[in-house]
Amino acid sequence: MGDTTMTDPPTYPQPAVELADFVEEYLYGCSPAPGCGVCAALAKELAVARAAREYSRAYDAAAEIRNHPHAPARAER
Protein backbone atom coordinates (compact mmCIF):
# COMPACT_ATOMS: atom_id res chain seq x y z
CA MET A 1 0.00 0.00 0.00
CA GLY A 2 1.46 3.30 -1.01
CA ASP A 3 1.33 5.52 2.02
CA THR A 4 2.38 8.81 0.60
CA THR A 5 2.14 11.86 2.76
CA MET A 6 2.70 15.19 1.24
CA THR A 7 5.23 16.85 3.40
CA ASP A 8 5.91 19.88 1.37
CA PRO A 9 6.28 22.72 3.82
CA PRO A 10 4.69 25.81 2.37
CA THR A 11 6.99 28.75 2.19
CA TYR A 12 5.76 32.09 3.30
CA PRO A 13 7.56 35.29 2.52
CA GLN A 14 9.22 36.75 5.54
CA PRO A 15 7.64 39.84 7.09
CA ALA A 16 8.98 43.00 5.62
CA VAL A 17 10.55 45.83 7.51
CA GLU A 18 7.30 47.72 7.26
CA LEU A 19 5.65 45.10 9.45
CA ALA A 20 8.41 45.42 12.00
CA ASP A 21 7.74 49.14 12.09
CA PHE A 22 4.07 48.46 12.59
CA VAL A 23 4.79 46.05 15.43
CA GLU A 24 7.16 48.49 17.05
CA GLU A 25 4.51 51.17 16.89
CA TYR A 26 2.01 48.76 18.34
CA LEU A 27 4.30 47.72 21.16
CA TYR A 28 5.99 50.99 21.98
CA GLY A 29 3.76 53.59 20.42
CA CYS A 30 2.57 56.07 22.97
CA SER A 31 2.01 59.75 23.35
CA PRO A 32 3.46 61.21 26.54
CA ALA A 33 1.30 64.03 27.78
CA PRO A 34 3.05 67.38 27.34
CA GLY A 35 3.94 68.94 30.65
CA CYS A 36 3.61 65.66 32.54
CA GLY A 37 6.79 64.87 34.41
CA VAL A 38 5.88 61.22 34.85
CA CYS A 39 5.24 60.76 31.15
CA ALA A 40 8.48 62.55 30.31
CA ALA A 41 10.40 60.26 32.64
CA LEU A 42 8.68 57.20 31.19
CA ALA A 43 9.38 58.38 27.65
CA LYS A 44 13.04 58.69 28.55
CA GLU A 45 12.95 55.25 30.15
CA LEU A 46 11.36 53.89 27.01
CA ALA A 47 14.06 55.38 24.79
CA VAL A 48 16.83 54.14 27.06
CA ALA A 49 15.34 50.67 27.30
CA ARG A 50 14.92 50.41 23.54
CA ALA A 51 18.46 51.56 22.98
CA ALA A 52 19.62 48.89 25.42
CA ARG A 53 17.35 46.35 23.69
CA GLU A 54 15.50 45.68 26.91
CA TYR A 55 12.24 45.19 25.12
CA SER A 56 10.11 44.08 28.04
CA ARG A 57 11.21 47.14 29.97
CA ALA A 58 10.50 49.32 26.96
CA TYR A 59 7.07 47.79 26.57
CA ASP A 60 6.32 48.39 30.23
CA ALA A 61 7.32 52.01 29.94
CA ALA A 62 5.16 52.52 26.87
CA ALA A 63 2.24 50.80 28.56
CA GLU A 64 2.63 53.03 31.60
CA ILE A 65 2.58 56.11 29.41
CA ARG A 66 -0.57 54.90 27.71
CA ASN A 67 -2.22 54.15 31.03
CA HIS A 68 -1.08 57.25 32.84
CA PRO A 69 -4.17 59.14 33.95
CA HIS A 70 -4.37 62.84 33.31
CA ALA A 71 -6.85 65.59 33.83
CA PRO A 72 -9.74 65.03 31.43
CA ALA A 73 -8.92 68.04 29.34
CA ARG A 74 -10.29 66.54 26.17
CA ALA A 75 -11.78 63.29 27.33
CA GLU A 76 -14.66 61.91 25.38
CA ARG A 77 -17.88 62.35 27.18
Q: Cβ closer to Zn ion: 10 or 35? A: 35
Q: Could you tell me which of 77, 76, 8, 69 has the C-alpha nearest to residue 33? A: 69
CA–CA gap between residue 73 and residue 53 (Å, rounded): 35
Site track for Zn ion across 13-52, x = CB under 5 A: --------------------x--x-xx-------------
Applying CB under 5 A, what is the total number of residues that bind Zn ion? 5
Q: Could you tell me if 45 and 28 are in contact, meaning their C-beta atoms sit under 8 angstroms apart?
A: no
Interacting residues toward Zn ion by CB under 5 A: 33, 36, 38-39, 68
